[in-house]
């Protein structure tokens, strides 16, 4: 309820507010509700599942939406649990809500009206001990505002695609690899009839297989990394037979549709007028520099390209959560064994803690829920290493298995991240006249000039001198490229607002919320 007459109304105060209803958020929500917590879930999507479990709109009449997913039963079970908890009043699910900031509130022993908080299950209540409440401000799809209060926060905001620009990447028909998959899953449409899939990372195989199965001709999957990089990580691979089987299934699908897999190659230019008509690919050296004399063209009417994912951290970094550098060069939140961030009362699960895929996100979401329940109930933490999630668990029980599974899947994810980390030579295919920041139409040469002649050595200085990163995406698309051209590692995004907010909505907030 509102804390002042001018504050937007929202649901009743919760024990746990979860931002994101993808695999991590979904798993955390149903687990926490099952443990007796009152949960509020805020998600930007219209339906739960995130990008991984994206579904066609009901109006499209998809007869078998599960055909687009290889892990549908897992999702169906958890979505059914979410709906059951929602019907019972244990979960409040808020779709089409964009959380733009999270701020600490008053002591958690008092609710919004100053009364003693009584939101946890009766058996947990006497031991509830949290240092503060949290206030989450969100914009709904119609730009109306919602405010949520909770004793704990779980950030499960997922990730977005990493794009490394090249000449012609702004042509119509050039889409993100994940974007192409989203078009197919959510809209049942293909980006083109003849689609080249390029970039780096395991997502390329899944995208190519899905496009080919849906009827697109996929002349090639152009992978910049060399799969020989996995040879040094054989023990990690062997501990994940399920992942190996998944990769083998993708390989078999590509072979069945006669899709060529070209490793250590990259698309260095896209050609066309009204839309993309062909791409130039070239072989790369170990640092991703194009080798002279290896360029050739592939005709196509669409290009799906992506170089992995970038954790979406704005809410976490805005709260001051510590970060770490991942093996793929991206920045992730630094978490402990119980999925806790460095800020008390704030947990994280899924891609925000490092890109790892849906299976790892499900495990982390469930573990985070157990940790949060233990913290709110005052369960003592005896020592580092995850005591709360293991507290009271019998040997061989589910929680110890989840801890082991998380370690195994995280090791596999880190091995993949290291194998597909972009090489420093990729900027060699980015000509000076090629657009690096598409929002502000800033060419790469302008950024290079700012770095070489004006001393710009960080993204902020480049932005001030060139406007690169000052557009609608606020550097989400061009950030990695701008950082590379300026000669620095990408820094974590720090934004007071995690998404655009109408000024009239800010004006509606009470003075103490500013």
Q: What is the pLDDT of residue 118?
A: 35
What is the spatial distance between Cα 33 and Cα 164, in angstroms, rounded to a whole number?
A: 41
The β-bridge relationship of strands 14-19 and 145-155 is: parallel
CATH architecture classification, 164-306:
3-Layer(bba) Sandwich (3.50)
Q: Note the pLDDT of residue 390.
A: 47
pLDDT value, residue 9: 61
Sign for the pseudo-dihedral over CA of 289, 275, 261, 415: positive
Separation between Cα atoms, residue 223 and residue 347, nearest integer Å: 35
Instruction: Give this prediction's pTM.
Output: 0.88
Give me the long-range contacts of 382-386 (CB less than 8 A, separation at least 24).
384/336, 384/337, 385/337, 386/336, 386/337, 386/338
Nearest to 11 by CA among 104, 126, 136, 129: 136
What does the pLDDT profile of the chain (514 residues) look like in tens digits?
444 444 556 788 999 999 999 999 999 999 999 999 999 999 999 899 888 888 877 777 666 766 667 777 888 899 999 999 999 999 999 999 999 999 997 654 444 344 433 333 333 333 334 457 999 999 987 678 899 999 999 999 999 999 999 999 999 999 999 999 999 988 889 999 999 999 999 999 999 999 999 999 999 999 999 988 888 888 998 999 988 998 899 999 999 999 999 999 999 999 999 999 999 999 999 999 999 999 999 999 999 999 999 999 999 999 999 999 999 999 999 999 999 999 999 999 999 999 999 999 999 999 999 999 999 988 643 333 454 554 445 555 678 889 999 999 999 999 999 999 999 999 989 999 999 999 999 999 999 999 888 888 888 888 889 999 888 888 888 888 888 888 777 677 677 788 878 888 788 777 666 5
Name the superfamily (CATH) of residues 14-107+131-159+310-380.
FAD/NAD(P)-binding domain (3.50.50.60)
Domains of the chain, residue spans: 14-107+131-159+310-380, 164-306, 430-489
| Separation CA 343–CA 473 (nearest Å) | 27
How far, in Å, CA of 208 to CA of 362, rounded? 24
Evaluate whether 14-107+131-159+310-380 and 164-306 have a shared fold: yes
- Closest Cα partner for 426 from 264, 246, 276? 264
Q: Topology of domain 430-489, per CATH?
A: Arc Repressor Mutant, subunit A (1.10.10)
């Amino acid at each position: 309820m509102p804390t002042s007459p001018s504050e937007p109304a929202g649901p009743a105060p919760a024990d746990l507010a979860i931002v994101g209803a993808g695999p991590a958020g979904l798993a955390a929500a149903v687990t926490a509700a099952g443990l007796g917590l009152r949960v509020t879930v805020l998600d930007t999507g219209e339906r739960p599942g995130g990008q991984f479990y994206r579904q066609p709109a009901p109006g499209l009449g998809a007869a078998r939406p599960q055909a687009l997913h290889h892990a549908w039963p897992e999702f169906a079970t958890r979505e059914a649990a979410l709906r059951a908890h929602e019907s019972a009043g244990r979960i409040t699910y808020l779709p089409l809500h964009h959380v733009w900031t999270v701020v600490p509130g008053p002591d958690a022993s008092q609710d919004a009206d100053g009364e003693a908080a009584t939101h946890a299950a009766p058996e947990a209540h006497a031991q509830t001990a949290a240092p503060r409440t949290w206030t989450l401000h969100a914009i709904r799809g119609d730009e109306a505002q919602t405010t949520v209060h909770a004793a704990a926060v779980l950030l499960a905001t997922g990730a977005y695609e990493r794009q490394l620009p090249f000449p012609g990447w702004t042509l119509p028909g050039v889409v993100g690899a994940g974007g192409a998959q989203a078009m197919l899953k959510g809209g049942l449409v293909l980006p083109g009839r003849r689609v080249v899939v390029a970039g780096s990372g395991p997502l390329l195989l899944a995208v190519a297989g899905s496009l080919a199965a849906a009827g697109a001709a996929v002349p090639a999957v152009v992978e910049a990394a060399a799969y020989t990089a996995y040879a040094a990580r054989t023990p990690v691979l062997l501990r994940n037979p399920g992942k190996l089987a998944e990769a083998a299934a993708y390989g078999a699908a590509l072979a069945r549709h006669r899709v060529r897999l070209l490793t250590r190659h990259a698309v260095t230019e896209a050609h066309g007028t009204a839309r993309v008509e062909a791409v130039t690919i070239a072989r790369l050296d170990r640092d991703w520099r194009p080798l002279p004399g290896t360029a050739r063209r592939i005709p196509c009417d669409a290009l799906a390209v992506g170089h992995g994912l970038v954790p979406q951290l704005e809410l976490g970094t805005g709260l001051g959560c510590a970060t770490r550098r991942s093996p793929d060069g991206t920045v992730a939140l630094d978490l402990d064994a119980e999925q806790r961030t460095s800020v008390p009362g704030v947990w994280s699960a899924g891609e925000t803690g490092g890109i790892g895929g849906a299976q790892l996100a499900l495990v982390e979401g469930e573990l985070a829920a157990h940790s949060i329940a233990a913290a709110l109930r005052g369960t003592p933490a005896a020592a580092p290493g995850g005591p709360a999630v293991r507290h009271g668990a019998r040997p061989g029980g589910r929680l110890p298995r989840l801890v082991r599974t998380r370690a195994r899947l995280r090791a596999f994810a880190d091995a993949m991240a290291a194998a597909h980390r972009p090489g420093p030579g990729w900027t060699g295919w980015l000509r000076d006249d090629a657009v690096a920041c598409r929002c502000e139409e800033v060419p790469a040469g302008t950024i290079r000039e700012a770095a070489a002649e004006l001393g710009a050595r960080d993204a902020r200085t480049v932005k001030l001198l060139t406007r690169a990163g000052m557009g609608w995406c606020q550097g989400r698309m061009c950030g990695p490229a701008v950082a590379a051209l300026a000669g620095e590692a990408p820094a974590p995004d720090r934004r007071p607002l995690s998404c655009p907010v109408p000024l009239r909505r800010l004006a509606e907030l009470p003075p103490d919320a500013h």
